[in-house]
Chains A and B, each alone.
Chain A
Amino acid sequence: MSLPVQASRTRGGAVGLAGAILSLALVLSALQLARQLPPALWFQAALQPSADDVRQLLFHFSALPRLMTAFLCGAGLGLAGALFQHVLRNPLASPTTLGVEAGAQLTLVMAAIWAPALLGASREIVAIAGAVAVTALIFAVASKRGFSSLTLVLTGLVVGLFCGALSVALKLLNQEYVTSLFIWGAGSVAQQDWSAVAYLLPRLLIGGIVAALLVRPLTVMALDDASASSLGVSLQALRAGALLLAVLLTAFVTSAVGVIGFIGLAAPQIVRLSGARQLQDRLILSPLLGGGLLVLVDQAVQAAGDHFADFLPTGAVTALFGAPLLLWLLPQLRSAGNDWATDIHATSRIGKRPLGFSAFGGILIAAVLMAVFLGRTPDGWSLAFGEEFATLAPWRVPRVAVALLAGAMLGMAGVLLQRLTRNPIASPEVLGIGTGVALGILVSMVISAAPGRALQLALGLAGAFAVLALLLWRGTRARFAPDQLLLTGIALSALLDAIMVSFLALGDPRASQLLAWMAGSTYRADASLAWMTFAIAVPLLLATPLTSRWLDILPLGDEASRELGVELGAARLVVMLLASVLTAASVLVVGPLTFAGLVGPHLARVLGMRRAFEQLIGAALLGAVLMVAADWLGRMVIFPFQLPAGLVAALIGVPYLIWHLTRRER
């Protein structure tokens, strides 16, 4: 038997690939530039553009700086990603997956709204503050868990999504900034002068030199800790230094152009998978490939049409290109994912009896009563009874009902997905299933001016099922390695998000409607929506526990499930269908960003509900409590204005998860 020997591959493949992408980028750029200005005039236009020739001015102040900016940003992110992956020994680490970009973005959005002067003084300080804060938070969490790769990426993703959600909230509350913030936030590299290049070039050069100086000690670090220290390398300082460098590079790029997803993950991965094993090679090739990729994408955006070129953010398009590329490369990735399994058990306690369901039922009833009767008026807090309640009920009751049912459905969907994929952090949100629904609803808005709820539900369902089927298809091929599944989910989410962001950035009139829905607004809930949700939810909530025995056995894996006589194909299909319908029906009313599907099952397990049946009921109750409370808080906290319930749920749920992760001892 002959097995392919990875080690025998040389870096030739990687060099070739990087070279090919760079030359392709160069050729495309040259063609694009030639369309704007004859090559004979390039030299003159670059150095001393004639003020009379608009083409030369455009070439000098727009086309060239844009090209340079794209390359520099891609290179910076590529280098940052390579450093993250090496130092953390984690092939999934990157500016995007660790939430560093999102952190920098959040502080920039906050500064833009509340302290524009600060932003004027120094964008980079603001961005660095955000990036460093997020990194510090992630490491504080990870250090409690012995720096397992799971915890690191899980925390990073969650923090990233959280910062994203918070940014959306701030944008919603400050409508006047929305459009420009969206374009910036999605990473447009369009330029009007050389300031971005002048800003980035020296910083990235210094970063590159520091990285070059770190190559040798970092190479030694690839050994285990004991051997490295015996070779005289101070590990802590080195690790901190290299990480700080990666964080700074990310912050520079983000403060210059916004979030450019995926380049920092894709470039080092591609370099690694195409055969570069030496750190030195990876640190040289990753920035080159990253720069080449981003230029390529940017040129493609420009070539796609002048109409879009000004608005379509390149950072969103990188995800369009990067995500499928990564999906294609993934099967080659053989990374150890064993610490995932242990994490399942870290969160389970035996000996502690689960809190009675009646207790949760009581909490839910209390939450519902509060949400229905307690409210704020201009005069202060008030309990509504009798006649006053009769007036308010048509407004309050439907949205509380919708929130409750959606939360319960998401909780159950989370349990189904976690047990189906044998992944403790699977959820409709994390696996991109909610995003699939969102895309379906987006399609419904495109094909119909006023889409009916039935059409939205049907297309949302189709989106959910398509994403889940793709995940399972890939999961089966990769033998359900949890990290593969998660990475597939992230890639899909990023791809779908990119489509959504592009749609929003194009200034479509339906964008604000879509935005409100994505944030999980229950404003529009009326009696008919409540009854429709009720009619869908109740049969599903009753039927799902019937799959409990499958859900108990399926996490044991294919062999054991087959051994015990479980019809694997049928069981999987039923569970998948249930999870899709539950997700679609709930996302339709509360948006894709609630995290109720992650928090509900997780909290249920922490409270000692280990068996599928208990966990299903517990997660449904907890998800319902979360959503009802979120809906109520969304109406109360900034009265007379409202925050969308889905957003509030995310703002409650995510800090809970992070707090929980820091608290648990191994």
Chain B
Amino acid sequence: MNAPFRRRTAETFAGHSGGADAVLEMEGAHLSIEGHALLQPTSLAFGRGRVYGIIGHNGSGKSTLLKLLARQMPPSGGAIRFAGTPIQDFGARAFARHVAYLPQHTPVTTSLTVRELVRFGRYPWHGPLGRVSPEDHRHVAEAMSLAQVEPFADRLVDTLSGGERQRAWVAMLVAQNSGFILLDEPTSALDLAHQMEVLRLLRSLSRSRNLGVVAVLHDINMAARFCDELIALQKGAIRMRGTPGDIMHSDVLEMVYGIPMEVIRHPVTEAPIGFAR
């Protein structure tokens, strides 16, 4: 075994350099474009092993918040840190080993098979020239099995259905083996069954791999059902933060969505269900 390979696997087995309880946090981070504030100064912390749902109406700054955390754009001010280090101080690949991000619109995949796409998830580990190790192959295989994309592993991603394609991208993120996964509306294009499938997968990964999952979600009931914590945004600022039990009240939802809302109990599970009055 050669030296660089040993060093890498050592790092992998130690978990992440940030450690198992590393925190992704923002402190007074905000973003304005041409004088228009997309996100007010915001302070938040996300821990591992939990699923966070970001909710709010359109234009409330949900995607902006996620993009700042994912380092897709720099904040206009304030700080964003991972494990105490400002995220801009990480190298591109080093950051990708800690935080994975799924954009709202997944790009057109120029004639790639699912397996090839999932392998891209290992780029942050092997880089442009590094050797592809057995470790990389193991992560790819595991990610494909977790996301249940093996039946269509050798088909072109663009020939898949919306749900299958979304799972292929999630598999790529899983193969990335990062401590945090950020997803921008991962279920927006999916039918009910596939929404449940994707969210269930994310929740179980969060438990089994001690993964921090932060997802922008459209459907308040889905969010309440699968998240440990909800963050409600309105006009670029946090209006409310708490467990689904704290958020699922008609007055809170009314404030967040700006229309009269009502909450009832599910007849069987007793889970709160919100709907427009």
Contacts and interface: CB of A to CB of B under 8 A. Distances in A.
B93 to A, nearest CB: 4
Q: How large is the interface on B (under 10, 10 to 19, 20 to 34, 35 or more residues)?
A: 35 or more
Given A565-B96, A566-B123, A341 B108 contact: yes
B92 interface: yes
B3 to A, nearest CB: 21
Interface in B68-113: 70-72, 91-97, 100-103, 106-113
B23 interface: no
Interface in A26-73: none
B262 interface: no
Contacts of B92: 562, 565-568
Contact of A553 (B71, B106, B120): B120
B228 interface: no
Contact of A350 (B71, B113, B127): B113
Contacts of A474: none
B107 A565 contact: no
A660 interface: no
A344 B157 CA distance: 13
A563 B156 contact: no
Contacts of B127: 549
Contacts of B95: 565
A348 B158 CA distance: 12
Q: How large is the interface on A (under 10, 10 to 19, 20 to 34, 35 or more residues)?
A: 20 to 34
A569 to B, nearest CB: 10
Interface-central residue, A546, A560, A610, by most chain B CB under 10 Å: A560
A567 B124 CA distance: 11
A611 B116 contact: yes
B120 A562 contact: no
B129 interface: yes
A262 interface: no
B70 A555 contact: no
A610 B72 CA distance: 28
B111 A610 contact: yes
B121 interface: yes
Contact of A562 (B71, B102, B113, B154): B71
Given A344-B110, A344-B111, A556-B109, A564 B128 contact: no
A348 B157 CA distance: 13
Contacts of B113: 350
Nearest to A570: B92
Interface in A529-558: 546-547, 549-550, 552-553, 555-557
B155 interface: yes
A557 B71 CA distance: 15
A560 to B, nearest CB: 5
B123 A565 contact: yes
A260 to B, nearest CB: 38
Given A350-B113, A566-B123, A611-B116, A549 B103 contact: no
B107 A348 contact: no
B36 interface: yes
A549 B123 contact: yes
A341 B110 CA distance: 8
Given A560-B103, A562-B71, A553 B123 contact: yes
The 8 closest A-B pairs by CB, nearest first: A565-B96, A565-B93, A348-B111, A565-B124, A557-B107, A555-B110, A559-B103, A341-B108
Interface of A: 1, 341, 344-345, 348, 350, 422, 546-547, 549-550, 552-553, 555-557, 559-560, 562-568, 571, 605, 610-611
